[in-house]
Structure 1
Amino acid sequence: MRIFPVLAAVLSFGFASAVQAQSCGGNFGSFVDGLKSEAASKGHDRSRIDSFFRNVRQEQGVINADRRQGIFQRPFLDFSRALISQGRITNGRRNHERYRAVFERAQQQYGVPPGILLAFWAFETDYGAVQGDFNTVNALVTLAHDCRRPELFRPQVFAAIEMYRRGMLDPVQTRGAWAGEIGMVQKLPSDIINYAVDGDGDGRIDLQRSAPDALMSAAAMLRGKGWRANEPWLHEVALPQGLDLRRTGIRTEMTVNEWQQLGVRPTHGSLPSGNLRASVIVPQGHRGPAFMVFHNYRVLFEWNQSFIYVTTAAYFATRLSGAPVYQAGNPETGLNQDQMRQLQQQLAQRGFDVGGIDGILGANTRAAVQDVQAELGLPADGWPTPQLLRML
């Protein structure tokens, strides 16, 4: 058995060799002047820099959207049912047929199967229908100036300048998500610079209007982040009575054979090669659905850092690939947002790194909950309950 560290809360985006704290806050105009100076130090022409920043302004709507992400506080069953509709399944199948040749090429060149690309395409923009209407430059500079996640967004500003230099972005006209993501599969500028592909062969890359460009670019990015061809990502399983629940969670990895020897069984079909290493996760506790997850599941955190989002997307990809609906089980009652914050405060006071008091059950909080459950003699499945909160 091998224990993995909790997934990092911040991931590198390619334009910085290491994730470091960046200057933020203060007067917005002075902050922009600092960005201009840094852009010049990186070799950008002064006239291009001035043109890029000429109309930039701070947008409170971006900050409001960043603070208003309540859907990520929902438990897995509620979250997945909210995101996976019959319409998205039907449209997924239609788009698979419509772009079958593109999906086949993406799988042949990059090893990424259609289900994965369809799932993210659906969740990000409803297959291109809803791409966002925020000015991309304003969004990125606003979030770089805000002191919540400057280490993520400041490098993206300079990636956007590089996109402008290459003719891939218009500082006034380019619009997308509130977080500065662009196109049908909502990618940040550094990932566009590093992985964008001309999927339709027209000599240009248009991630907003060309589905082949967007899909091939998404596949290229996943491959570049470590996706392994011909390997699984997630498979629903049933847990045996008496399983030591401390083994569940993304921190623990064993071979498929070792899990099967403990009595873990697939709910449908068969599990992959017994030598593959895997974890078993129970996103809503041991009385809810259980999944065996593999290396490729971990790669999906390069797309989105939310445990609940990645798990739902990975599951939806299996549905689009022919898997049945999960066995929902009968999970124990969880915590509301205020209770979750109280729990995180209690855990932080005990010395656990919960990744911030945000009311969201992320990977860090789950790991801390699991450790405390084991200490208190509760089922150590990482799913916090009112009973656990009372005991703390």
Structure 2
Amino acid sequence: MRFLSGLIAAAFLASPAFAQCGGNFNAFVDGLKAEASQKGFDASTVNGFFKGVQQDGAVLKADRAQGVFQKPFIDFSRHLISQNRIDRGTAMSRKYDAVFDRIEREYGVSRGVLLAFWAFETDYGAVQGDFNTRNALVTLAHDCRRPELFRPQIFAAIELYSQGNFDPARTTGAWAGEIGMVQMLPQDILDNGMDGDGDGRVSLKTSAPDALMSGAKMLSHLGWQAGQPWLQEVTVPAQMDWSLSGPGKPRPVSEWQSMGVQARSGSLANLPASLILPQGHNGPAFLAYPNFDVYFEWNQSFVYVLTAAYFGTRLEGGQIYDAGNPAPRLSSAQMKQLQTKLQARGYDVGKIDGILGAGTRAAVQAEQVRLGLPADAWPTTDLLGRI
């Protein structure tokens, strides 16, 4: 799923007249109608879009039940990547070979990247979700967890409706409002929707060429660098300054090589790269190139992003990663205990949720440095006991 950019979120928060959430649902919908009218939509369009709108409790339940993201990379990737998904990806690559060739020519996005998203988002189009999209977006905008993400998508959906490309009563998709085979939010469809099959329509639910071309265009607009790699498995030495590792810490590949980091197969690209150790220095190791950062514009979950990026390499013939022998992971209760301790020390770990997110990883690494432990951002029972 796509997350709202910081600029759009800032613009939303700067509009207090329409930034409210919560309260009476009908009154909230009236506020949406008023804002839609202010944005220039005529009364017929506004009334047609909101006719019969309902709050969907199943959407809220799904939003609060994302326990799978508590799994560490090895467990999560093994959960999502199966031989069946690899075999089907190979078959889809052959079936839509001409589409992928066109994508690679026009956008420089490698087919493995899109195949991985297609597989994870909808199992190659087979499971696209049956939540009413309008109701899902309004429900999530009314909920006060992330209104800055979902409220703008309502007006994008109204625009699609005004163009005849959205049916408020019948358009369905994922619980978070994404539509189609690669699960795109309404604003992304407006910005990047492509008629890939040449029938004069953009149909992301029924046309694989439309969905794949649209996904490629979106990745290109998010900053994908044509023809460049995104992730490569590496081997690391027994000892090095592990505090240099982590997402968003790029260094020239030559510097990593001088520290003993080597490609597990093939050659390293001559690009800046960050050393990713998802389960510490005794687990799998990857170099993440600049294109890897684009994945976080699609989804902000570290474990999802790394798994999708890795699966993209597998779908293009890459080998199975070396899992190594990482230290045992903390239980959910232990992770929450660790987050509470880190928060008490002044670290911003976000919500105490048991998920090893970016804030918790950074805090763990900082504490490992302070305590003289290998600063690889992987929490252990030893660390928990020392804080």
* TM-score tier (shorter): over 0.9
> What displacement does 1:152 show?
0.6
Secondary structure, aligned partner of 1:330: coil
Contact 1:121/1:127 (CA < 8 Å) preserved in 2? yes
Which residue number in structure 1 is paired with residue 330 of structure 2?
Answer: 335
Q: TM-score, normalised by structure 1?
A: 0.95
> What displacement does 1:15 show?
6.0
Which residue number in structure 1 is paired with residue 261 of structure 2?
Answer: 264
The CA distance in 1 between the partners of 2:6 and 2:126, in whole Å, is: 26
Which residue number in structure 2 is paired with residue 355 of structure 1?
Answer: 350
The CA distance in 1 between the partners of 2:230 and 2:265, in whole Å, is: 15
Contact 1:185/1:214 (CA < 8 Å) preserved in 2? yes
Which residue number in structure 1 is paired with residue 285 of structure 2?
Answer: 290
Alignment gaps of 5+ in structure 2: none
Which residue number in structure 1 is paired with residue 375 of structure 2?
Answer: 380
The CA distance in 1 between the partners of 2:3 and 2:295, in whole Å, is: 14
For the aligned residue pairs, the C-alpha RMSD in angstroms reads 1.4
Contact 1:369/1:383 (CA < 8 Å) preserved in 2? yes
Contact 1:25/1:147 (CA < 8 Å) preserved in 2? yes
Q: Tell me which amino acid in the other structure corresponds to 1:76.
A: F
The CA distance in 2 between the partners of 1:181 and 1:24, in whole Å, is: 21
Which residue number in structure 2 is paired with residue 18 of structure 1?
Answer: 11
Secondary structure, aligned partner of 2:26: helix
Secondary structure, aligned partner of 1:292: strand
Contact 1:15/1:190 (CA < 8 Å) preserved in 2? no
Secondary structure, aligned partner of 1:236: strand
Which residue number in structure 2 is paired with residue 60 of structure 1?
Answer: 57
> What displacement does 1:11 show?
3.7
> What displacement does 1:20 show?
2.4
Contact 1:12/1:19 (CA < 8 Å) preserved in 2? no
Which residue number in structure 1 is paired with residue 301 of structure 2?
Answer: 306
Find out whether 1:346 has 2:341 as its counterpart: yes
Find out whether 1:133 has 2:130 as its counterpart: yes
Which residue number in structure 2 is paired with residue 5 of structure 1?
Answer: none
Structure 1: 4+ residue segments shifted above 3 A? 13-19
Contact 1:133/1:176 (CA < 8 Å) preserved in 2? yes
The CA distance in 1 between the partners of 2:374 and 2:61, in whole Å, is: 38
Change (3 A) 1:46 1:72: same
Q: Tell me which amino acid in the other structure corresponds to 2:155.
A: F
Q: Tell me which amino acid in the other structure corresponds to 1:243.
A: M
The CA distance in 2 between the partners of 1:351 and 1:127, in whole Å, is: 44
The CA distance in 2 between the partners of 1:283 and 1:23, in whole Å, is: 38
Which residue number in structure 2 is paired with residue 251 of structure 1?
Answer: 248
Alignment of 1:83-94 (within 5 A): 83-94=80-91
The CA distance in 2 between the partners of 1:26 and 1:17, in whole Å, is: 22
1:12-36 per-position Cα deviation (integer Å, ceiling 9, x unaligned): 1886663527311111111111111
The CA distance in 1 between the partners of 2:242 and 2:12, in whole Å, is: 34
Which residue number in structure 2 is paired with residue 325 of structure 1?
Answer: 320
> What displacement does 1:390 show?
1.6
Contact 2:3/2:297 (CA < 8 Å) preserved in 1? no
Secondary structure, aligned partner of 2:250: strand
> What displacement does 1:251 show?
3.3
Q: Between the two proteins, what is the percent identity of the paired residues?
A: 61
Secondary structure, aligned partner of 1:18: helix
Contact 1:197/1:213 (CA < 8 Å) preserved in 2? yes
Change (3 A) 1:13 1:153: farther
Alignment gaps of 5+ in structure 1: 1-8
Secondary structure, aligned partner of 1:318: helix
Q: Tell me which amino acid in the other structure corresponds to 2:318.
A: A
The CA distance in 2 between the partners of 1:354 and 1:33, in whole Å, is: 36
Which residue number in structure 2 is paired with residue 238 of structure 1?
Answer: 235
The CA distance in 2 between the partners of 1:152 and 1:250, in whole Å, is: 24
Q: Tell me which amino acid in the other structure corresponds to 2:293.
A: R
Which residue number in structure 2 is paired with residue 280 of structure 1?
Answer: 275
Equivalent residue in structure 2 for 1:116, among 101, 107, 113? 113
Of 204-213 and 246-255, more deviation after overlay is shown by: 246-255
Secondary structure, aligned partner of 2:11: coil
Contact 1:112/1:227 (CA < 8 Å) preserved in 2? yes
The CA distance in 1 between the partners of 2:194 and 2:11, in whole Å, is: 26
Which residue number in structure 2 is paired with residue 143 of structure 1?
Answer: 140
